[in-house]
Amino acid sequence: MPRRPGQWLALLRAALVAVAVVDVSVTAFPPAYRPWAWAVTGFFAATTLVSAALARADLDRAARVRARALAIVFDSIAAVGFVAVFSYQSGEPYRALYLVPVAEAALRFGLLAGLVSGIVMVGATLVIDAVGPGAAGSTIASRILVGVLAGLVIGRLRDGLAARAAEAERLRDELGRRGDVLEAANRCARALGSSLEIGTAFGAFIRELRAIVPFDRTAIVLLDHDQATTIATAGRGATEIFPPGSVGPVQGSVLDRVRSGDVIVRRDLAAPEYPEDALFAELGLRSEIVAPLIVGIRPIGMIALSRTEVDGFSPEDIELVTLLGRLAATAVQNIRAYEAEHHTVEELRRLSALRADFVSLVSHELRSPMAAVIGAARTLQQRWRILAPDQREAFLALIADETNRLANLIGDVLHTSQIEAGTFSYSFTDVDLGRLVEDAVATAGLAQDDVRITASVSSALPRIRGDRERLRQVLGNLIENAVKYSPAGEAVEVRAQRDDGLVKISVADRGPGIPVDQQRLIFEKFGRADVAGGSKPGTGLGLFIARSIAEAHGGTIDVRSGPSVGTTFTLTLPLA
């Protein structure tokens, strides 16, 4: 079956050749006309074969245009020939054949070709009439009008249909391209959703991206205030230049410009604009797309693709990378939200465990001194008269010590709740830190005699603004902890000195030390380290309160500890 319009026309011409042969055979021509009639029929048959061969040939576009024009010329000559050989008959239908090449030219090549063909064919028929039987003036006018109008109307319709066909083809191609873009975006979205670990998700994303928008280097960078953090790279220099995990300043980099939300297309990197351009030039990269990762209206990072060719990215590439930037931003936001929720759940679980431990600990800490107080009080009540004076004093001293222990426990719980509620009060005055340190050391020394406590206070130690009692509470807690965990016979060293606008007070012991992974835990509520030799009595609130007091004074408490060197807590306070 014919596959192209030219092949259908070849079949039509073949059918018309048969009609012409029959018609010429049965027509009684004047003697001078019959040879010409057969000559025209033979020419028509020959050109029909030539046109059929050209229609079946595999020609390029330009050759097909030339073949169509040649076929129209052949048909025009044949049509003029048949009009001429039948011109001796008035009213012969063959006179209308001059319209066939007009319609063919208009349909094949449009308005201009139809107009030119109409003029040529009408002119040919007028010449035939002039040298032949002649024609009336009204017939000539109508023939000119019909021929020219046929070319104009058919050509105009053809141009309109061709324009619509071109537009339909363009829309079809655009729809197909949009479908391809959507499918590519879906594949990248599936890759981004394949993991809730940001490095794994973007590794899968980059593998899909390489198949969709080929690149020589790509990088995905997140914005964190004034710092840029690279989370994924691939291609040239991926492990040498800004590898995953590297952090750098945003100011002055291309990311600084991306923060406005613009897509940056750099067609030639030969002229450096940013500090990193020289590094990329060494890799042979010459063009770049930088698209923002946008959540809502806020850029949170960028995706950059580079190629070695100058102006290496098409408008379709730019559009697709822009879309992928938004998808990547949504994935980052989802992963961050999941991580935040996961962290919150873990923190709540940890706090719940700490609270359960605290309830158990406090109940134990309360039960022990209360049992001692109750037992001593009942003994005194029941056996007061038979007890010796020194025995009575011992029981009364036990009651006093355990009551003081209960008061400290209740005080720690009360202070913790006040700190959380923001009602923990301070009274700031000028404080002599040297005197404060010496008093705290003396008080701790009187309370026990198993551990020696030494103080080294710089003579140039200035006064600071602070709450004396709260700072004394901090020092008392640090020294008490050092004594509690120091072996008998060891020493606790307390040092106070000025250091570049700061005052540092350190408390060092020779105890078992605190594991590195638990050094942050001890400053949290109810946090207690699992040290060698077992935990000592306590609520796990003392260091939390001490840190809160230090921060209220604009200072900090740090810890440095190791298995063989003991533990050193350092209280740092500003002079101003």
| CB-CB neighbours of 422 under 10 Å | 6
The whole-number average pLDDT for the span 525-551 is 74
Q: Residues 265, 166: one domain?
A: no
Residue 526 buriedness (CB in 10 A; 0-12 / 13-18 / 19+) = buried
The reply to whether 417 falls in a domain is no
The reply to whether 53 falls in a domain is yes
Q: Residues 217, 153: one domain?
A: no
Cβ-contact 330, 193 below 8 angstroms: no
Q: Residues 139, 62: one domain?
A: yes
User: How do residues 546-560 score in pLDDT, each as one tens digit?
Assistant: 888 888 888 999 988
Q: Residues 134, 224: one domain?
A: no
The whole-number average pLDDT for the span 344-373 is 73
Q: What is the mean pLDDT of the chain?
A: 81
Position 332 confidence tier, pLDDT thresholds 50, 70, 90: confident
The reply to whether 306 falls in a domain is yes
Q: What is the pLDDT of residue 446?
A: 79
Q: Which of 114, 140, 170 is the last residue of a domain?
A: 170
* Distance of alpha carbon 321 from alpha carbon 290, whole angstroms: 8
Q: In CATH, what number is assigned to the domain containing residue 457?
A: 3.30.565.10
Cβ-contact 543, 522 below 8 angstroms: yes
Q: Which of 301, 317, 336 is the last residue of a domain?
A: 336
Q: What is the pLDDT of residue 535?
A: 58
| Range name among 322-326, 357-361, 515-519 with the lowest pLDDT average | 357-361
Q: Residues 162, 230: one domain?
A: no
The reply to whether 387 falls in a domain is no
End-to-end CA distance of the chain: 99
| Higher local confidence (pLDDT), 173 or 569 | 569
User: Residue 284 belongs to what domain range?
Assistant: 210-336
Q: Residues 142, 271: one domain?
A: no
Q: In CATH, what number is assigned to the domain containing residue 313?
A: 3.30.450.40
Distance of alpha carbon 116 from the chain centroid? 60
| CB-CB neighbours of 420 under 10 Å | 12
What's the predicted TM-score (pTM) here?
0.45
Residue 228's SS3 state is strand
Position 485 confidence tier, pLDDT thresholds 50, 70, 90: confident
The whole-number average pLDDT for the span 164-188 is 77
User: How do residues 379-422 score in pLDDT, each as one tens digit?
Assistant: 888 888 888 888 888 888 888 877 877 777 777 777 777 777 77
Position 192 confidence tier, pLDDT thresholds 50, 70, 90: confident
Total structural domains within the chain: 3
| Range name among 118-122, 181-185, 457-461, 570-574 with the lowest pLDDT average | 181-185
Q: What is the pLDDT of residue 92?
A: 60
Q: Which of 336, 367, 388 is the last residue of a domain?
A: 336
Q: Residues 142, 266: one domain?
A: no
Residue 323's SS3 state is helix
CA distances (Å), 163 to each of 13, 160, 172, in order? 28, 5, 14
The reply to whether 23 falls in a domain is yes
Q: Residues 65, 137: one domain?
A: yes
The reply to whether 14 falls in a domain is yes
Which position has the token pair 């923001």?
Answer: 422
Q: What angle do CA 420, 426, 429 make, to 5 degrees?
A: 160
Position 364 confidence tier, pLDDT thresholds 50, 70, 90: low
Q: Residues 233, 165: one domain?
A: no
The whole-number average pLDDT for the span 174-184 is 72
The reply to whether 299 falls in a domain is yes
Q: Residues 122, 214: one domain?
A: no
| Range name among 58-62, 242-246, 500-504 with the lowest pLDDT average | 58-62
Q: Residues 144, 279: one domain?
A: no
Cβ-contact 559, 474 below 8 angstroms: no
Position 536 confidence tier, pLDDT thresholds 50, 70, 90: low
CA distances (Å), 195 to each of 161, 184, 337, in order? 52, 19, 14
Position 361 confidence tier, pLDDT thresholds 50, 70, 90: low
Q: Residues 72, 149: one domain?
A: yes
Position 98 confidence tier, pLDDT thresholds 50, 70, 90: confident
CA distances (Å), 18 to each of 10, 13, 44, in order? 13, 9, 10
Residue 513's SS3 state is coil
pLDDT for residue 259 is more than 80 = yes
Q: What is the pLDDT of residue 60?
A: 79
Residue 434's SS3 state is helix
The reply to whether 406 falls in a domain is no
pLDDT for residue 3 is more than 60 = no
Kindly state the tokens that stand for 245: 């995990």
Residue 426's SS3 state is coil
Helix, strand and coil in the chain, % to nearest 5:
60, 15, 25
